[in-house]
Chain A
Amino acid sequence: MSAAGPDTPPSTAAPASAAVTRLKLTNFRNYAELDLSLDARPVCLFGANGSGKTNLVEAVSFLGPGRGLRAAGADAVRRHMAEGPADIWAVYAEALTRDGPVSLATGADPADPARRRTRLEGAAATQSELARLFPMMWLTPREDRLWAGPRADRLRFFDRLVLAGEPHHGQTAIAYEKAMRQRQRLLDQWAETGRIDPDWVHALEREMASAGTALAAARLDALVRLQGEIDERPETRFPKADLGLEGTLEAWLAEGLNASEAEDRFLDALAGSRRRDSAAGRSLTGPHRTELTARHRAKDQLAADCSTGEQKALLLGLALAQCAALARARGAAPVLILDEACAHLDAARREGLAAAILEVGTQAWLTGVERQLFEPFGAQAQYVEVENGRAGAVS
């Protein structure tokens, strides 16, 4: 279904922040076909439960690095009713980026539909390139229990914030995890057979030490910037948080060790923990074990102990502060997807959210069951009504 663009014509000048100006979906989730023309203003999607709002923002999240906001595989997003050669699903977008207007596309690989391929201006795109050109963050109802949930989820959330400002962070994390898995395989074999090649394990530990130190340094750097932004921000409707990263490597770097000293110390620690890691069946030390902590400053309370509404407000505050920090540092804010974020906010906080998004100048994508939830945006946002796998801009 095609929809005419809103009254404001899309700007063709290089924008401060990344923004989708056209979004086309083919056989994606509950969308057979969709063609939306947009401008750089925030996008408010409204419609009944199950109409396809989250599916639409998931498609947008596929334009950035990673597996999108549902972490879905390529074969999971294909529309079930697809017929004939329409087995192939695709998300195509035209977007304004720091390099000017580009076309981005992702979809099932025709040669192997279980695989996803991503193209930038018609050529294969790397994850780092996507992270640089189309930085992105999101909050979904999945994150509602983030502060009280598993440690690994919090770290993943924070790593996504870091990735929005440091395009290489994702590749470093993959390199670290790959080396860690390989080392663990050798240690598992050691436990089973009693045989080990210490040189091989050492070689992998060097890779872990180098990538792990880079990971920890990027996280610390992001944490300092983010905390600085939070501290400097005027009081808003969103509570301020005091953040911390508890991890061995992060602690060494924070103590003042330089990167190569921290790397050497981590290398020694890995060599010293082979027996323990072999017995445990996993690596017991390293930046994959880092804990993100947060306290509600005004209430002097651990985030996990706050009410559900306050926990969500803390997360929103973090995401908005990171957007602002990146807009300040890089001159461009990441695209921010907020799925069902307004539902649990009172009227004052909804106003605060709109004000913060408009101030940063990010193209935020918000979803909600009713249009009234987005009233504070007024004419400074564009509105899209979603109904049963169809969506159209409304004025």
Chain B
Amino acid sequence: MNQASGPEIERLIQLLAKLPGLGPRSARRAALHLLKKREQLMEPLAEAMGEAAAKIRACAECGNLDVTDPCAICASQRRDPKVICVVETVGDLWALERASAFKGRYHVLGGVLSALDGIGPDQLNVAKLIERAGREETSEIILALNATVDGQTTAHFIADKLEGASVDITSLARGVPVGGELDYLDDGTLAAAFKSRRPA
């Protein structure tokens, strides 16, 4: 406990230190910076946080975060309702949206299976996905999960669960990155690239 500052500052530092990427030292720096820029930064930030906390909710359909429920993507008539892209987090959804490569709808799982962290199917948004996959309009489920052990385990798990539904189940290709040189790729990526080769 820092005795040079009051409990208000200590509480602020402790809360900031819980943010991803911040430790106790950087939280202290951030708190001092906020206090120094009270009008330009701290007050607008507090207001923005209050507003976000009050208004933003998870979409009951897909799990995306938005001020409306269903979210703007689920409500949009211009998005293809037949194709659902399954992602781990809203951050992954944003990454795909930035790439503008996908015009269908999403499904945010809210994590991946991890027995060691106590995250099982019940903690993930899987039941809703099975329901959506069973709808007549759905024709394809794209599994866009990370190429980690947990990500791929979750992908296998979902593929097994969706076996009965009459939808195509696909997953993102793995292999040579855009602008990548073969000489610099690791053997696992090269092997994956060969497995998923396609007619040129």
**Residue of A171, A172, A189, A204 with highest tally of chain B CB at under 10 A:** A204
* Interface membership of B116, Cβ < 8 A: yes
* Interface membership of A349, Cβ < 8 A: no
Residues of A within 8 A of B120 (CB): 197, 200
Shortest C-beta distance, A359 to chain B (Å), equals: 28
Residues of A within 8 A of B79 (CB): none
* Interface membership of B84, Cβ < 8 A: no
Q: Which of B114, B156, B161 contacts A207 (CB 8 A)?
A: B156
Q: Which of B23, B25, B153 contacts A203 (CB 8 A)?
A: B153
Alpha-carbon separation in the docked complex, A206 to B115 (Å) = 15
**A: interface residue count bin:** 20 to 34
Shortest C-beta distance, B16 to chain A (Å), equals: 14
Alpha-carbon separation in the docked complex, A204 to B157 (Å) = 8
Q: Given known contacts A111-B23, A182-B153, A185-B115, is B121 in contact with A200 (CB within 8 Å)?
A: yes
By beta carbon, the residue of chain B nearest A110 is B25
By beta carbon, the residue of chain B nearest A132 is B186
Q: Given known contacts A167-B187, A168-B187, A172-B188, is B149 in contact with A199 (CB within 8 Å)?
A: no
By beta carbon, the residue of chain B nearest A210 is B152
* Interface membership of B160, Cβ < 8 A: yes
Q: Given known contacts A182-B116, A197-B121, is B153 in contact with A204 (CB within 8 Å)?
A: yes
Residues of B within 8 A of A182 (CB): 113-116, 149-150, 153
Q: Given known contacts A111-B26, A178-B149, A182-B115, is B156 in contact with A202 (CB within 8 Å)?
A: yes
In residues 197-255 of chain A, which contact B (Cβ within 8 Å)?
197, 199-200, 202-204, 206-207, 211, 214
Q: Which of B116, B149, B157 contacts A175 (CB 8 A)?
A: B149
Alpha-carbon separation in the docked complex, A144 to B128 (Å) = 58
* Interface membership of A166, Cβ < 8 A: yes
Query: Does B149 lie within 8 Å of A206, measured CB to CB?
Result: no
**Residue of B23, B26, B150, B156 with highest tally of chain A CB at under 10 A:** B156
* Interface membership of A364, Cβ < 8 A: no
Per-position 1/0 for A166-206, Cβ under 8 A of B: 11100110010011011101100100000001011011101
Residues of A within 8 A of B149 (CB): 175, 178-179, 182, 207, 211
Per-position 1/0 for B145-163, Cβ under 8 A of A: 0000110111111001100
* Interface membership of A112, Cβ < 8 A: yes
Shortest C-beta distance, A121 to chain B (Å), equals: 14
Query: Does B186 lie within 8 Å of A206, measured CB to CB?
Result: no
Query: Does B187 lie within 8 Å of A203, measured CB to CB?
Result: no
Query: Does B113 lie within 8 Å of A203, measured CB to CB?
Result: yes
Alpha-carbon separation in the docked complex, A128 to B23 (Å) = 28
Query: Does A206 lie within 8 Å of B156, measured CB to CB?
Result: yes
In residues 18-54 of chain B, which contact A (Cβ within 8 Å)?
23, 25-26
Alpha-carbon separation in the docked complex, A181 to B149 (Å) = 11
Query: Does A207 lie within 8 Å of B152, measured CB to CB?
Result: yes
Residues of B within 8 A of A189 (CB): 115
Residues of B within 8 A of A211 (CB): 149
Alpha-carbon separation in the docked complex, A168 to B115 (Å) = 25
Query: Does A203 lie within 8 Å of B186, measured CB to CB?
Result: no
Shortest C-beta distance, B194 to chain A (Å), equals: 12
Shortest C-beta distance, A206 to chain B (Å), equals: 5
Query: Does A202 lie within 8 Å of B160, measured CB to CB?
Result: yes
By beta carbon, the residue of chain B nearest A181 is B116
**Residue of B23, B114, B153, B156 with highest tally of chain A CB at under 10 A:** B153
Shortest C-beta distance, A243 to chain B (Å), equals: 23
Per-position 1/0 for B136-180, Cβ under 8 A of A: 000000000000011011111100110000000000000000000
Query: Does A168 lie within 8 Å of B156, measured CB to CB?
Result: no
Residues of B within 8 A of A202 (CB): 156-157, 160
Query: Does B160 lie within 8 Å of A168, measured CB to CB?
Result: no
Q: Given known contacts A167-B186, A178-B149, A197-B121, is B116 in contact with A203 (CB within 8 Å)?
A: no
Shortest C-beta distance, B180 to chain A (Å), equals: 14
Alpha-carbon separation in the docked complex, A204 to B121 (Å) = 13
Q: Given known contacts A168-B188, A186-B115, A199-B160, is B153 in contact with A207 (CB within 8 Å)?
A: yes
Residues of B within 8 A of A206 (CB): 153, 156
Query: Does A203 lie within 8 Å of B115, measured CB to CB?
Result: no
Shortest C-beta distance, A231 to chain B (Å), equals: 26
Residues of B within 8 A of A166 (CB): 187
Shortest C-beta distance, B25 to chain A (Å), equals: 7
Closest 6 CB pairs of A and B: A203-B156, A185-B115, A203-B157, A182-B115, A199-B160, A168-B187
Interface residues of A (CB under 8 A from B): 111-112, 128, 132, 166-168, 171-172, 175, 178-179, 181-183, 185-186, 189, 197, 199-200, 202-204, 206-207, 211, 214
- Report 6 cross-chain contacts, Cβ distance below 8 Å, ordered by A residue: A167-B186, A185-B116, A199-B161, A203-B160, A207-B149, A207-B153
If A111-B23, A203-B154, A207-B149 are given as contacts, then 16 extra A-B residue pairs at C-beta distance below 8 Å, sorted by A number, are: A111-B26, A112-B23, A166-B187, A171-B186, A175-B149, A179-B149, A181-B115, A181-B116, A182-B113, A182-B116, A183-B115, A185-B116, A197-B120, A199-B157, A200-B157, A203-B157
